[in-house]
């Protein structure tokens, strides 16, 4: 693999110093990135020492270095997995032919759109999480928030590297735009829906990292199969970091429900709210919200964009290797569709159904996480089950966005939905209540009332380690 040059301005394993033009272009973008980080990254805490993991190579053992560092000094680098000699297209019309090291002209726009869309989510999430440092439930959680934030920053670097290297002037302009859009801004919003939603407290943050970062896992996995080799190699390494983000979300909610159960047993009326906890039905509502927003990120159920990207060899399926057939001509996917206002189960040409195929894999993965939450609840002796709502519930993208469903998948009219919405999704009162619990806890080894301590600390360290130096 390429040597890692960590002493350069931009740490990298792509021999950046061997391409002076590219190096200069990226070094010119770097101060704009730092300005964006200071302006839109975590509010406060920038001058504190945070115990962070930094990617320093792509070796499976020892790719990460842990140390206290001030966030603006974080060494955001460019890391691609080593090139596999002789790699061929793993799917699509070009199956079996050598992969590309450059972008073919006819696919340039499609490829650029996907890379820009991926890149846009990374800074968007940092913007969404900007204020959370003021209300962290512990130093451990505060550190995990910042870890996620700096790595999303690195994921932006990964996409900007591709834009600068392979898309010339267009790519440089897109890289600037990535720093100009703003999450939730009416005039220049981020591209995808969920990335304009507020994550204004830690319950939403944990749901976001559970469900929305998991979309990242599936989208990156599909792009990791790409016949555009530099994209595949960069996404493969991004997935290494992604695992921790989903851990933060899944274990975060697991600790919330554990605490809820403990408090339910302490309160004479079984209400954790009176003791500063979050009741399980409210946890369910936030799961309904973030799961449905994240399902939207897979795009339309039937999509010619998805078919085109697959045919071209640009975007594959999750773990393409597991499938026997990689061209998908003449095969079908049986799925629910909306026809004349009714749900019908139907065969759809496979290439057009690929967004739904990927979403189906994602749903299974979400269910595995929810099962682990339910095991925690059961182990606490509490009779409650968190359920993923129907994929048709509360959708804003795709065919189900034009009709309304209950969480258990019954079609209802818009008026009934509006009337019952507050039973299923967080209300203004729920938001106010959750925010009322969000008091910072910055004493080493202490945790807020609404969350249990983690089972173990970071990098083998104890839970009361000084993850953030005050």
Using CB under 6 A as the binding rule, whether residue 144 contacts ligand BYC is answered as no
**Which residue from 144, 149, 292, 355 is in contact with ligand BYC, where contact means CB under 6 A?**
355
d(CA 182, CA 436): 27
Tokens representing residue 69 in the block: 């560092």
Q: Is residue 143 within 8 Å of residue 458, measured between CB atoms?
A: yes
* Contact track, Fe ion, 188-217, x by CB under 5 A: -------------------------x--x-
Distance CA 256, CA 39 (A): 31
Is residue 304 classed exposed, middle or buried when 0-12, 13-18 and 19+ CB atoms within 10 A define those classes? Answer: exposed
Closest distance of CB 458 from Fe ion, Å: 16
Q: 240 to 299, contacts with ligand BYC by CB under 6 A?
A: 296-299
Nearer to Fe ion, 155 or 273 (CB): 155
Closest Cα partner for 386 from 287, 249, 248, 295?
287
Give the one residue of 16, 78, 114, 159 binding ligand BYC; rule: CB under 6 A.
Answer: 114
* End-to-end Cα distance, the chain: 40
Residues 137-166 that bind Fe ion (CB under 5 A): 152, 155
List CB contacts of 46: < 8 A, sequence separation 6 or more. Answer: 38, 70, 71, 72
Residues 444, 42: Cα–Cα separation, whole Å: 21
Site string for ligand BYC, 178-207 (x = CB under 6 A): --------------xx--------------
CA angle 371, 271, 448 (to 5 degrees): 75
CA distances from 427 to 189, 272, 275, 392, 434 (A): 24, 18, 21, 20, 11
53 interacts with Fe ion by CB under 5 A: no
Q: Smallest distance, Å, CB 441 to Fe ion?
A: 24
Does residue 245 bind Fe ion (CB under 5 A)? yes
Residue 84 DSSP symbol: P
Task: Give the shortest CB-310-to-ligand BYC separation in angstroms.
Answer: 10
Please say which residue, 177 or 262, places its beta carbon nearer to ligand BYC: 177
Residue 299 near which of Fe ion, ligand BYC, none (CB within 5-8 Å, type-dependent): ligand BYC
Interface with Fe ion (CB under 5 A): 122, 152, 155, 213, 216, 242, 245
Interface with ligand BYC (CB under 6 A): 114, 117-118, 121-122, 125, 152, 192-193, 212-213, 215-216, 219, 296-300, 303, 305-306, 315, 355, 397
């Amino acid at each position: 693999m390429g040597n890692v040059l960590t002493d350069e301005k931009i740490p990298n394993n792509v021999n950046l110093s061997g391409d002076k033009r590219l190096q200069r272009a990226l070094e010119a973008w770097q101060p704009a990135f730092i300005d964006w980080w200071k302006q839109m990254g975590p509010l406060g805490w920038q001058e504190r020492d945070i115990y962070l993991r930094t990617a320093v190579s792509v070796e499976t053992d020892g790719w990460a270095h842990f140390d206290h560092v001030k966030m603006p000094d974080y060494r955001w680098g460019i890391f691609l997995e080593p090139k596999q000699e002789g790699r061929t297209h793993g799917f699509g019309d070009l199956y079996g032919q050598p992969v590309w090291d450059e972008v073919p002209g006819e696919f340039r726009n499609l490829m650029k759109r996907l890379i820009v869309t991926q890149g846009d989510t990374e800074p968007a999430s940092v913007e969404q999480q900007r204020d959370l440092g003021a209300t962290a439930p512990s130093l451990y959680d505060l550190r995990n928030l910042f870890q996620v934030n700096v790595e999303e920053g690195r994921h932006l670097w990964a996409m900007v590297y591709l834009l600068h290297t392979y898309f010339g002037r267009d790519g440089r302009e897109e890289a600037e735009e990535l720093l100009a859009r703003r999450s939730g801004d009416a005039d220049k919003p981020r591209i995808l829906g969920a990335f304009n939603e507020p994550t204004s407290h830690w319950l939403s943050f944990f749901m976001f990292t559970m469900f929305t970062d998991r979309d990242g896992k599936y989208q990156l996995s599909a792009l990791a199969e790409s016949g555009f080799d530099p994209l595949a190699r960069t996404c493969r390494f991004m997935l290494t970091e992604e695992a921790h983000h989903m851990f933060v979300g899944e274990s975060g909610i697991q600790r919330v429900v554990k605490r809820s159960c403990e408090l339910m047993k302490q309160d004479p009326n079984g209400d954790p709210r009176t003791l500063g906890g979050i009741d399980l039905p409210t946890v369910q509502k936030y799961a309904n919200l973030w799961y449905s927003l994240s399902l939207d990120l897979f795009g339309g159920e039937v999509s010619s964009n998805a078919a085109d990207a697959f045919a071209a060899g640009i975007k594959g399926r999750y773990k393409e290797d597991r499938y026997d057939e990689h061209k998908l001509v003449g095969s079908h996917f049986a799925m629910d569709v909306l026809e004349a206002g009714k749900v019908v189960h139907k065969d759809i040409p496979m290439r057009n159904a690929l967004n739904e195929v990927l979403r189906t894999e994602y749903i299974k993965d979400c269910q595995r996480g929810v099962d682990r939450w339910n095991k925690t609840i059961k182990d606490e002796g509490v009779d409650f089950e968190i359920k993923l709502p129907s994929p048709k519930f509360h959708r804003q993208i795709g065919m189900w966005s034009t009709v309304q469903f209950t969480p258990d998948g019954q079609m209802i009219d818009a008026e009934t939905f509006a009337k019952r919405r507050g039973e299923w999704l967080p209300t203004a009162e729920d938001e106010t209540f959750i925010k009322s619990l969000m008091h910072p806890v910055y004493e080493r080894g202490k945790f807020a009332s609404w969350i249990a301590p983690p089972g173990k600390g970071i990098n083998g360290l104890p839970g009361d380690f000084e993850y953030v130096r005050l």
